[in-house]
Every structure is written in C-alpha cells, then in structure tokens.
Amino acid sequence: MGIQFKTDETFRDDFSYRNSDAAVLRFPFPFGEDKYMYSVNIEPHVKAGTSPAFEHAFDVDEHYVAECRERAIVLDHDPKRCQVLAHMMPAQWDTLELLMESLSADYPEHFSLTRDGTAWHWINRPLGLDQRFVFGDASTLPCEPFEYITRQAQGDFTLQDQRDDNLYVDGGMVTTQADWSLEFDIGMSFHEWHGPVPLAHEIGVFDRALQYLLRLQYGHPVRRLNWTMTINPRLDTSPENYPDWGPDRTTVTPENIAGKLHLRVELQTLFRLPRSNAILFGIRCYLISLQDIERVEKWRKRLHRVLASLPPELVEYKGLTRFHGMAVSRLAALDDGAPLSLGIQPDQARLE
C-alpha cells in the first residue's frame, strides 16, 4: 500500500496544511535533551534511527504532492529560487541520478526508473509524469536536470562544490527556506554562507563541520536535524518575501498560538556525488503545530524546557522574539518537571 497523499492542502492564503495522527507520530522532533545548543550533531545517514523519517534516503510523506505544487508556485513568481552555476553541470546529473535511483528503490509503488544505456525512462505516478530522456543530454528534459528532479522532491537542495579545501554553495533549489537567500548566497564558501549564525563560529562548530564534510565519502551520507519556528504552516519564509510574511509574527495571541505557531524542523542530509565530487545538501522541512506537539506528553514538556532555556541570541536569530514568552508560559502549564527519557522518540504509540 502506498502513501495517501493529501493533494489539496495549501501553505499560503488559507493554510489548509494539517498533519494526520500518523504524520504527527513520525515527526522528526529535534530535541533529544532538555537544553539546546549548537553542536556538530552529524551522524551517518543509514536507513535506521530514532525517527521513521530516517528510513529512506529521501523521505516522502503525505504532503508530497502539495509541497511540489507549492514549489511550482514559488518558482513561477521567482525563477531565481533555482540557480546552478555553469561548472556544476556534472553535479546536476549526479543529483538527478541519485534522486531517481533512491525514490524508485525506496517507493517502487510511486516512482519507477528504467534504463537502457543512456536512454532513461522515469515515471512519477503521484505527479502524473512520464518522461523519456537521454542521460547526459539536458536538451531532452523540459528544464535543466537539477531543476527537473528537485521540482519532484520535498525540501530544499543545495550543491556544494569542493575546491581549495573548502565548500562553495554553487547551486540550489530553495523555495522552503528558513530565511536565507540563494540569490544572495550563491557562490559563497562554507564560513561565508554561515556568516550570520550567532555563537556557533566562536565555539568552532563550523571549522569542525567543514573538516568533516571535506572528507565525506561517496556512499556514506550523513544527516542532522536543525529547527526554528514559523507562524502559520508557511513553507516559503524567504528573505525575499519577508515583507509579505513578516506581519504574521504580530498576529499571535494566547488564544490562537497553539494553532498558529509551528515547529519547523529540517532533516539535513549530505551526499557525496560521484562524477562531480560535489556534495548534495538536502534540507527537508517538516512543520508541526504547537497543538499537535501538545498531544505528545514527552514532546510538550521537552519543548517547554528547551524554549525556556534558549540563549537570547538564538531567540533573536531564529526570529522568536515576539512570541517566545507566550509559548513558554503556555507550555509551562503543561510541564510537571518530571524527568524525560533521552532521545527524540515520542514514547507513545497513539496521540492523546
């Protein structure tokens, strides 16, 4: 049995996005401990772990069709959300191959890939696509290979070129981002790109992460979770459109916060690519409302503790200032202070 896609939901205007109970329970909750601080929290991306979201190379869930439609809307308004510098064409084909092979192997009921030499045949059933093309010949696809395949995947992707003992963000598909701009950042080195992040530079996080990633091996991808919070289930919180979504932050009240405030988690995966030696960085975004988090006892208590102890620099950087206090006081009433198990798993099989 395949995934039941919720094809009609939206991430703008009426915000009809909702998680099913099953989607709540498989949510990759990012806090394994009661306090949060930056660290090089990278682990091998093997098909196992404490969240069902880790069980596939690229996770596909009930929001797949709706997220692909949302991506198309963003690209229609702003085609520069997908850009790849000219020297990255080998990495574009690497990405297409990796995604097509992974999706068709992990979800054979939804995707199929057949190959005869360079003659490839790709079928994407949820989106109703049937494409024959010549691998290596971009003119046989409706658009460049990186854009073609990342229009059919959930989450953002960037391409890192490795040269001069550094990584450069030389391409990307960025429509569901937490407030960073591909148009502004494209071409930047690892430290430049992470420049605005507070506190982490000083404790050497980026130096060590870079050294680790420069040695990332083909066939052995790695992953980490990152997080922030968003008002309304809005995927496109880009700096480009900040004038449009910024006012949302002033609409939060104690009465509506549980429905409006969403925890936004990024499952970040990094894959070494073969032909190009580039790294594909997947930034898969998951949204869950505060009221759904509250249905899991461990998660509501842990979120309270994490938010209450969050350093002020991070409250500011993550854009939580206007509603942080409101969220903490609401959650405080639901936290008895009892010790919680380590790790991110929900510790319950059904929602309250």
Partner 1 sequence: MILDGKLSARVAEIERLSPTLKRFRFVPEKGGAFPTSPPGAHVLVTLRGPDRVWQNAYSLVTPPDQRDHYAIVVRRVPDSRGGSHFLHDRLEIGDAVELSAPASLFPIASLARKHILIAGGIGLTPFLSYRPVLASRGAAYELHQFCAPDEVETFRGLLGSDAAGIHVHGVGRGERPDLAALLADQPLGTHVYTCGPQGLMDAVEETARGLGWTPHAIHRESFGGDKGGEPFTVTLARSGRSIAVGASQTLLEALEGEGIEAPCLCRGGACGVCLLPLVEGIPDHRDHVLSDAEKAEGRLIATCVSRARSETLVLDF
Partner 2 sequence: MSDQSIKSRPVYQSLAMDLSGLRHLLVSDSPAYRFEAPPDREVEVWFVAGPDQEGRIPPSETVHERGFRSPRHLIDRLDHRLAQERMGLRLYVSGTEDFLWDVFNTAQRAGMTKQEIFQCHSGTRARRVACVHCRTFNHGVTTTIVRCDGCGANLFVRDHFSRRLSAFMGVKIDAEVAGEVPPAEQAYS
Which residues of the chain form contacts with partner 2 (CB under 8 A)? 164, 181, 183-188, 191-196, 201, 239-243, 246-247, 249-250, 322
224 annotated active-site: yes
Residue number with CB closer to partner 1 (80 or 87): 87
Q: Which amino acid is at 265?
A: V
Indicate which residue of 18, 224, 234, 249 is catalytic.
224
Question: In whole angstroms, how close is the CB of 12 to partner 1 at the nearest point?
Answer: 34
189 binds partner 1 (CB under 8 A): no
Distance CA 150, CA 146 (A): 6
Contacted entry of partner 1, partner 2, none for residue 337, CB cut-off 5 to 8 Å set by kind: none
231 binds partner 1 (CB under 8 A): no
Please enumerate in sequence order all residues whose Cβ is within 8 A of that of 244, keeping only pairs 6 or more positions apart, or say none.
none
204 binds partner 1 (CB under 8 A): no
- Tell how many helices (H) and how many strands (E) occur in the chain: 13, 10
Contacted entry of partner 1, partner 2, none for residue 6, CB cut-off 5 to 8 Å set by kind: none
Contacted entry of partner 1, partner 2, none for residue 217, CB cut-off 5 to 8 Å set by kind: partner 1
136 binds partner 1 (CB under 8 A): yes
Q: Which amino acid is at 172?
A: G
- Bridge partners (DSSP) of residue 133 are 120
- Both structure tokens of 119: 């003659």
Mark out the alpha helices in 107-233 (DSSP H runs): 145-150, 182-185, 190-193, 205-214
- Bridge partners (DSSP) of residue 109 are none
Q: Quick check: 121 and 240 in contact, CB under 8 A?
A: no
Residues found near partner 1 in the complex (CB under 8 A): 45-47, 57, 87-90, 94, 97-98, 101-102, 118, 135-136, 161-164, 215, 217-221, 271-272, 274-278
